[in-house]
Each structure stands twice: as C-alpha cells, then as structure tokens.
Amino acid sequence: MAMNADKRNVERGQIISYEGYIYGDRPIDGEIISIIISEKETKKIILTAETTPKPNSVEYFGNTSWPFIFKVDTSYKEIAKDKTYVVEAKYDDKSTKLEFFIQNDPGPTCLEILGDSTIMVFTDKEKYDKGDVIRVFGCLSGEATNKETNIIVYDPNGKKIGVNSLILNPDRTFSEEFFIDERFGINGTYSVEVDAGGIYSSTKSFVVPEFGLFSLLFLGIAFAMVLIFSKKSIIKQNLGNYNIS
C-alpha cells in the first residue's frame, strides 16, 4: 500500500490531493479504505473519512494495484497553523501514512506592497544607538530597475554621510546595512534615500540620539574611578621608594 500527495507544506484553507495504491492479485470491488487525520504531536484524531478504490486495476512497478484518491480541505476548524498532521490510509492489515504541515500565512511581499509606487524603502527600527547596525531594505518597480541606483544616508543637517551602489536581487528587492559609527555623531533625525537615476526616489527617516544623561553619568563615574586608581597607584609607587620601619 502506498500513497502520495500534491503538496506537503500548505497554508490553512488549501486543498491537498492524495492518490494511493493497494497492491494485490485479487480484485477489490466495493471495498472501503479508511482515512484518518491526526495531529502528529498529540496523536489526537481530528478527521475520519472513507474512500473506495477505482474499479480498474493498473500495473504499477510490475504489480497489480488498485488506485484510490481523496482530498483534504485544511480549512477544517480543528486544523491549526504551525502544526504537523498525519494522514493515514488503512485497508485490512495494510496502512500507509503521509504528513502535511500548516504554515503561517505569509505576509504581503514588498512588491505587493509597492503597488503603484516606484520605490519603497524601510528600516528595521525607528531609533538606533551608537554601535547599532541599521538594516535598510525595500524594492523597486520595473521601470526603476533600468536606472543606476544608489542608497544614500543623510545626517540631520542634510549632509551625505554614506553612499553605496545598490545591487538588486532577482525579484527586484534589496537590502543594505550601515554601522552607526562616528559619522552619526549629531543628535537628531537621519534619513536614508534610494535614488534611481535621479528620476525615482524614496526616503525613510530614523533617529540617532546623543548619549543620554545616564550614559554621561556612567562615563563620568568610570572616568573618576580611573583617576582614583591612578592616584592610588602613584602613592603606592612613591611609598615604595622609602624604607618605613
């Protein structure tokens, strides 16, 4: 007994088509095949059904086989996302199993979000600190991909502090990273622009704050501790020059 399916990873609500075979010499006429669907982890049975083999046998790997077909609608209320299920077909003492996984519904792709826009650019956060990495990503429409495309970062005063040539992925999406270093020394709102030939462009803003009061206080304490330890070291050195009895 064997079985296959047209898909194994599906979104909830999709239909999975199964085709199976029972091998044997005797005709199978009006026989019933039990179908059982259970959750793999808990083994809880959530669906049961029946199907019958096709009346005409076929030659399959040199053996006589009796095919059967059935479909599973994954919109059934007991079937949940992010879980694996087992589909078992049983006939007499024979059985065969296949698994399927319900995946989370994928979010809209960048190109789907793009709509009538020519370029869209995003950052992974709205606010960054010194030492962070800013991740820039987005996508371009077909007409914009024919132009030389650059990604440019501006400081709060409008000065360019980073320019890179943009390399697109085959699906017209892109991604780039910038390290928040000394170039981002001004407190305020920065912007990243994707420019295609000076004709099409899109901009996204983000904030890089200056060191806060707590950070300055911490630095001040650390500096004071360094001075104290330095003074103790000098005193100890000077005392070492004298023989105190």
Say if residue 9 is in the same domain as residue 97. yes
63-73, strands of its sheet edge to edge: 2-5, 15-23, 63-73, 58-60
CA–CA distance, 71 with 31 (Å, rounded to integer)? 18
214 is a domain residue: no
Q: What is the pLDDT of residues 167-191, one digit of tens each?
A: 888 888 999 999 999 999 899 999 9
The pLDDT value recorded for residue 111 is 82
Say if residue 29 is in the same domain as residue 46. yes
- What CATH number does residue 187 fall under? 2.60.40.1930
222 is a domain residue: no
Locate 206 and state its tokens.
């983000």
Return the SS3 of 233. Answer: helix
41 is a domain residue: yes
Q: Which domain holds residue 59?
A: 2-103
CA–CA distance, 31 with 187 (Å, rounded to integer)? 78
Q: What is the pLDDT of residues 214-241, one digit of tens each?
A: 444 444 554 455 455 444 444 344 444 4
Say if residue 196 is in the same domain as residue 119. yes
The pLDDT value recorded for residue 196 is 92
Say if residue 115 is in the same domain as residue 191. yes
Q: Which of 15-19, 25-29, 98-102 has the lowest mean pLDDT?
A: 25-29
User: 20 vs 115, which has greater pLDDT?
Assistant: 20
220 is a domain residue: no
The pLDDT value recorded for residue 95 is 95
Answer yes or no: is pLDDT of 20 > 90: yes
236 is a domain residue: no
Say if residue 58 is in the same domain as residue 115. no
Say if residue 61 is in the same domain as residue 128. no
DSSP state at residue 236:
H
- Locate the DSSP E strands across 15-117: 15-23, 33-39, 45-51, 58-60, 63-73, 83-91, 94-103
pTM here? 0.47
Averaged pLDDT for residues 139-161: 92
Longest dimension (CA), the chain: 114
- The total number of structural domains in the chain stands at 2
